[in-house]
Structures are given as C-alpha cells and as structure tokens.
Amino acid sequence: MTARGFLRHETILALLVLVALFVLDRQSDRFLTVDNLFNQGRLMTEVGLIAIVMTFVIVTGGIDLSVGSILGMTAILIGVFWKNMGLPLPAAIGMGLVVGAFAGFVNGVIITRFKVPPLIATLGTLALYRGIAEGVSEARSVRGYPEWFFVLGQGELWGAPTQLWIFAAVAIVAAVVLAYTTFGRTTYAVGSNEVAARFSGLGVDGAKIAIYSASGLAAAIAAAIFVSRVSTTRSDMGTGIELDAITAVVLGGTSIFGGRGTIIGTLLGLVLIQSLKNGLSLAGVKSDGTVVLIGAVLILTILISNLVHRDATR
Amino acid sequence: MTVTAPRARRSSVARFVAAYGQEIVIACALIALFIVVSAINPRFLGANNVNTIVSGNAYIAVAAIGMSMIIITGHIDVSVGALIGVLATISGTLAVSGYPVWVAWTAPIFIGAAINGGVGALVAYGRLPSIVVTLGMLSILRGGLVSSTGGAWINDLPPAFQIAQARWFGAPAPIWFMVILTVLAFLWMKNTAFGRSLYAIGGNAEAARAAGIPVERRTVQVFMIHGAFAGIATMLFATQLRVIQSTVPPNLELTIITASVIGGVSILGGTGTVIGSTLAAVLFAAIGSAMIFVNVSAYWLRAVIGLLILVTVLADMARRNREFWSNQR
C-alpha cells in the first residue's frame, strides 16, 4: 500500500470515526451500548437512505435538492390515500412509493430532456413538491395509524430495529451496484466526462433518469419510515434533510464535481455525523453546538483531503 | 462548417431584446399579473397594497443582488439565510444594548463582509467548492445562533431602530434601498473593469486568469461584497417588526437563490443582471399577495411558485437551445 493509497479520503475518515467513537466513549458510559447504537441507527435511517442514492446523483455531477420535499409530499399523500380515500394502508404506502419514484423521474426528465442544470431543476421541484404537500394537507396532520404500521419505524425485527434491515439492504445493493456493475461504471463515466461517456455509446440520459427516480423512491421509503417512527404526518416533514444528506455524502469523499465517491465513504460520513450528534449530547453539549462542529468538520475534512490530493484532483 | 456570412446588422431593439430577454419576460409577467389580478379585484392595485408587497420583500431583492454577483462569478452560497439570521440577532442586540441605531444598522454590513471574506478565502485559496464551504457555514451559523441565544426573542427594540417602517419622499424606505442599490449594482457590473471581470471569471476562469484578472483576489472581494449586501438586507429585515426572532428564517437562502436564477442569472456563471433578480423578487412577492386577492388558498402558494420556476426555466432553456441551433447553421 502506497502512502497516497493509505491517505485515501475513506481511510482518513475511518480514522476520524474511530477517534470520535473513542473520545465519545470516554465522555459517557451510555454511548457504546447496544440500545443506544440501535436507537441512533433508527434516527439515521431516513437521511441515510436518501444519502446513499444521493451518492449516485453527486457522482454523476448532479445534485438533488428536492428529496426533502418529495419526503414531505409522499408522507402527506400516504396519509390522504389511506384516511381520505379509504385505501388499505399497504396499498396507500405502495402508491406513495410510486408517487415518490415518479417525482424523481420528473426531475430526471427535466434534467436530461430539457438540459436544465440539476441544481435549478430540483430547486424548482423543491418548491413544487413541498407546495403540493402544503396545498393537499392544508396544514392538517393525519394521525391514528394502525398499531402494526409502527413496526416499521418503532419496532424490531430479528433483534434489531426494523428500518436498519431496510437500510442495510439498500446500502449493500447500492455499494455493489456502484462498484461492480456496468451501471456503476456508467455512473462514474457520466460524472468524470459526460461528453466522452456519450461518445462511448453509454446510455447517459437513461442512467441519469434511473438515478433521479431512485432518489425519489429512496425519499418515499424514508417518508414511510418517518411517518411510522413519529406516528403522524405533517407537510413540513423532511424540510432541510437534503442538506444533511449532501453533507454526509460530501463528507464521505464524493466530489461535488462528480466522477469520484463511494458508498463506504457516505456510510462513514453518516456514522461520523450521527455519533457526533449523539455522543456530544450525551456528554452534555447542546445539540446546536454539535451542528456547529459538524459544519467545521465538513470544511476541515474536505480541506485536508484537498491538500493531500492537490496534484491528483486538479 | 462554412464561413459565416456577414450578418445583417440587427436593430438596436433586437439587440436589446436579445441581451435582456429574461428581464423582459419577468417584467411582462409582472405587468400581466397586475392587469389580470386588478381586473378581478381592483383593490390589488391600491398604492397601499403595492407598497406593502414591495417593501416587505425588498430585503430579499437586496440579498439577491449579492447572490447574483456570486452566481455570475460561478459560485453559490447556501448559507446566506443563516447569515442574515445571525446578523439580525447581532443588530437587534446592539440596538437594545444602548448603542446608537446607526451602529446597529451598519455593524451587520461589516460583519457580513468579514464572515464572507473568510468563506471567499477558503473558496479561492483553499480551492474548496463554494457549495461545500457554504454548506459547512450554514451549519456553523445556524447552530451558533441557536446555541448562543437559546432561541430567545429580542423585544423592546427602540422605535428609532425601525428603518424599514420609515417613509422617504412618499415611499417606504426599503423600496428606495432596493431600487437605488439595484441600479447602482447594475451600472457598476456593466461599466467598470471590476464589475466586468466578474462575468469574465464566471464565463471562463482560466481565460480570465490568462487575461490578467487576479481571479483569487476578485473571488474573495465578491464574497465580501455579497456579505455586505446580506448586511444591508439584514438592516431592512430586522427592522420590520418590533421583535427579532433569534432563529434562521426557513428557506430564505433558497428564496434568494431562486430570485437570482429566475431573474436570468445562469447557474453556470457568466451571464445575468441584478435588474432581473430584483424583478423576480418583486414578482414572487406580488404572486403571494395576488393569491390572497383572487381567493386562492394560500396553502397552494409554494406549489404555484414552484410551477412558475419550472415554466420560466424551461422557457429560458428553449430560447437558448434555439439560439444555439441557429448559431450552428
């Protein structure tokens, strides 16, 4: 292993995670307990699902700001399909997932067919989807979900929180797809040089549409888990979650310019953020102080990574 | 490719339309909105309502001037909403602690310039993408604000502090700020070497460097100017009411970025004007008010704005693609 290989972004980040876990463990004896870690896993799942697909989006050189709004819109629609239209809850959730994927598909079409930069396209749909959530709900929340539904967000399966299994499955599939499949290679190719990817005969537009649709679907799954976890539906759910997800992805070493990034990196970024949030609050630091630290860690990590890789990246 | 035939000289009107297409579209949309809504409900056009619409949202237009400069230079700032929240709290704290009101008004301008100067230095000399730095700043400012104030409101602001309530020569003060700053910034960006260098950097940073423009220094400077505009926006925002909520106004950064982008500032850098961003900020405010006057549920406001963003952007892309293809022939 060469020096540069050892100083890969993911390695630096993994060391940082270990240091954080060690320090935080010294601060509180409740930190490294199974109960606490599982609980943190629950809290991490929604942003985690979104961040995993966001990794694909950012690797193609794009961005998806609309995921928080898709989450809110899907949550509201699941409530409306179930309560107001009288569908059985599983069918309502199924339709919610379809709506989420379709919302992502619309993003993909606007970006590929009309050549609108992803930042603007998803800025527009951020307002549109959140607006639909607000318009449909008229600020009323939906409550009174059946007991079995809470298994998804509050219950356990095979000894671990239910949603962690979903998260693990999505993470493994995503890691394999990005690293070992033609689709994954296409994703990197689009991000490093889109024109070259087109001339190489790769289905650039198809890949992008698939990725943005998956991003919408991930936000919709997160919505179902979110509703189940907090037992209610409100139109402002998921506001700002896009920035948390992007922070985790970028902290994980994915280049915002595209072409570089891994799922492992994103997972490390997610774990670092969540353990800082939790560990510091157990140690008595207010959660807002933690937010400051996360911002500083984001800037410093990328700065250090840039200094190490200066000649390689530019 | 053939040698291009000498083009027929286009009339000055055609050149004006080509150069300011997006600004004209927004202005027409604004006029159309006023005609249609006042036909349905004449009270919409009342001087009071128009003044309220514009002056209540002038701070967004002022912040969008700085944001437009940032985007034209090829960068982005997602932390500006948090910055305005922090600056508003600083300004209010100074006002209630007995400092003269002019100190409370101007301190945010200098502090904003200083903070964003640091951001600009990280972008220019640290070679960090601006979206990463400002994402980090968003966390730092938002968390720092809430943890230092505990979310407490600032009450009992002195009446002399309320500059946003003042009227000068028959119009609310924020409107004067918005109009004068927009015109000055527009002329400055169009006619000075410094202003034009922002377009050059956004269009092609390497070419700008080769042409002798000090790209790094300009980047830091444009971030500082943007911070100063955020400070002026704070002065108009914080003095609207008798209280200041020590929280970050939700989604403010996205509203400001959207005003710039809908106003015709290309997210890819290099094109756009602050006239467009100001018109777009006024248009958003007018739509919000119009929905109330035509009895559309306010719950649908955001959906309408989102739809409007998409329609404007798609129309703009269609226009550009047509120009692109006609230039290929």
Check if A252 contacts B (Cβ < 8 Å): no
Q: Report which listed range, A117-121, A290-294, B41-45, B121-125, is most confident.
A: B121-125
Residue B51: which domain range? 45-310
Q: How many CB atoms lie within 10 A of CB A222?
A: 32
In a domain, B280, yes or no: yes
Task: Give the residues across from B168 on adjacent strands.
Answer: B171
User: Half-sphere exposure (CA, 13 Å, Cβ side) for A269?
Assistant: 32
In a domain, B53, yes or no: yes
Task: Give A-chain residues touching B302 at CB under 8 angstroms.
Answer: 127-128, 130-131, 134-135
In a domain, B321, yes or no: no
Q: CA-CA distance, B75 to A219, in Å (whole number)?
A: 28
**What is the DSSP track for B46-63?**
SHHHHHHHHHHHHHHHHH
Q: Chain A residue with minimal CA distance to B247?
A: A288
Check if B139 contacts A (Cβ < 8 Å): yes
Closest chain A C-alpha to B63 CA, distance in angstroms: 18
**Under 8 Å between Cβ of A200 and A125:** no
Tens of pLDDT, residues A73-100: 999 999 888 888 888 888 889 999 999 9
Tens of pLDDT, residues A193-241: 888 888 888 888 999 999 999 999 999 999 999 988 888 888 888 877 8
pLDDT band at B182 (very low <50, low <70, confident <90, very high): very high
- What's the pLDDT at A6? 54
Longest alpha-carbon distance in chain A: 62
Q: Would you give the DSSP letter of residue B315?
A: H
In a domain, B126, yes or no: yes
**Under 8 Å between Cβ of A227 and A78:** yes
- What's the pLDDT at B9? 61
Q: Chain A residue with minimal CA distance to B316?
A: A116
**Under 8 Å between Cβ of A192 and A258:** yes
Does residue B328 carry a pLDDT above 60? no
Does residue A1 carry a pLDDT above 50? no
Task: Give A-chain residues touching B309 at CB under 8 angstroms.
Answer: 120, 123-124, 127-128
Phi, psi of A2 (to 5 degrees): -75, 170
pTM (whole model) above 0.95: no
- The rounded mean pLDDT for chain B is 84
- What's the pLDDT at A3? 52
Closest chain A C-alpha to B298 CA, distance in angstroms: 8
Check if A289 contacts B (Cβ < 8 Å): yes
Task: Give the residues across from A233 on adjacent strands.
Answer: A142
Phi, psi of A142 (to 5 degrees): -105, 130
- The rounded mean pLDDT for chain A is 85
Q: Chain B residue with minimal CA distance to A297?
A: B136
Does residue B231 carry a pLDDT above 50? yes
- What's the pLDDT at B112? 95
Element (H, E) at A236: none
Does residue B11 carry a pLDDT above 90? no
Inter-chain touch A127–B132, beta carbons under 8 Å: no
Name which of A189, A202, A194 is nearest A260 in CA terms. Answer: A189
Element (H, E) at A66: none
Task: Give A-chain residues touching B321 at CB under 8 angstroms.
Answer: 115
Counted domains in chain B: 1
Tens of pLDDT, residues A143-187: 877 877 777 777 777 877 888 898 999 999 999 999 999 998 999
| Span B246-257, average pLDDT | 80
Tokens of A261: 């990034």
**A173-187, A260-274, B69-83, B279-293: which range is least confident on average?**
B279-293
As a whole number of Å, the CA-based R_g of chain B is: 21
In a domain, B3, yes or no: no
Where residue B171 sits, what CATH number does that domain have? 1.10.3470
Q: Chain A residue with minimal CA distance to B264?
A: A120
Check if B261 contacts A (Cβ < 8 Å): yes
Does residue B220 carry a pLDDT above 80? yes
In a domain, B271, yes or no: yes
| Span B115-123, average pLDDT | 94
* Cβ-count burial A111-135 (b if 16+ within 10 Å, e if not): bbeeebbbbbbbbbbbbbbbbbbbb
SS3 at position B316 = helix
In a domain, B162, yes or no: yes
